Structures are given as structure tokens and as C-alpha cells.
Copies of this chain bind each other. A is one copy, B any other.
Amino acid sequence: MSSTAVLTPAELLSHWQGLRRVTRRVIEVFPEEHLHTFSVGGMRPFAALAAEMLAIAVPMAKQIAGGESTEYEGTPPATKAELLAKWDEATAELDTWYAKVAPERFGETITLFGQYTGTVWSQFFYAIDNENHHRGQGYVYLRALGIEPPPFWDRQ
């Protein structure tokens, strides 16, 4: 590793997938009857937040890897089982597309979803930061519903 490398692309992906496992556990413990409806302060229900994460991660990696412009779509799957299935599908697809991004491209500037311009690393960071942001909101929803969220520090 170079002396200027904070971490490698593989380490970043592994870190992200660890955080995605936490998000998956939030979906798992979320009561099905509240997944598409429960809100605090008029915010989107957790299914919509999870759908946004799905609409960003793989489409982003795919665009970066292949240059294909994918539309941002975030329609929430109808049931918890379908959402979890989509999540698992995305986990595998993220690994596949991310692996196609050459390591030397992380500093390259790219425009995604037809409008967001930044370096490849900053695009992936946006996806990760945004997932943390919305998962944290899911924790509040769970607490408001009287449910213990999964531990944030457990990434296994």
C-alpha cells in the first residue's frame, strides 16, 4: 500500500458490506405492519429509506464500472420478505460491479444519475454516509415502536 493510501478499494467495500449487514438487521426486526407506514415527524417510512439505499448502491457501482446511466428508482418492495430478497440480491451485485472498478479510478471525477459530479471515492462515500444517516433514522423509528435496534458496532 502506498504511504498515501488510507485504505484499499477492497477494504472500503468490506467496510460498506459490514454496514449493510447492520441495515439488513434493521429491516429484519422492523415490524411488517409498520414498514411502509410508520413515520415520525412526517418523514418517509423505513421501507422508502431502504428502497433509496437500494436505488443508490448497485446503480452507482454499475454506472461507475460500466458507464451506463441508470435512472434513480426507489420504489419500495411490497413485503419485508421481498425487501430482504432485494437486499441480498444487491449485496451480491454490489460485490460484482464494485470489483469491476479499477483501483486507479477512485480519484477520477464522474457524473452519476445524470447530475451528481464528484470523485469515484466521494460517490461511494455519499452512498455509505447516506445509508448511515437513514439507518440511524430507522433506529429512532424502532425505538419509538418499542423495539431494540441491532447493535451499531456489530458488523458481522
Mask of A127-143 contacts with B, CB within 8 angstroms, 1/0: 01110111111011111
Contact status of A106 and B7, CB under 8 A, knowing A129-B132, A132-B136? yes
Q: Which listed segment binds B: A38-46, A55-63, A64-72, A76-84?
A: A38-46
Q: Across the interface, which residues of B come within 8 angstroms of A7, CB to CB?
A: 6, 106-107, 119, 121-122
Contact status of A8 and B15, CB under 8 A, knowing A146-B41, A152-B133? no
The yes or no answer to A156 lying at the interface (CB within 8 A) is: no
A122: contacting residue among B15, B128, B144, CB under 8 A: B15
Chain A: interface size category: 35 or more
Q: Across the interface, which residues of B come within 8 angstroms of A144, CB to CB?
A: 40-41
Whole-angstrom distance from the CB of A38 to the nearest CB of chain B? Answer: 11
Listed in ascending order, the chain A residues whose CB lies under 8 Å from chain B are: 1-9, 11-12, 15, 19, 40-43, 103-104, 106-107, 119, 121-122, 125-126, 128-130, 132-137, 139-146, 152-153
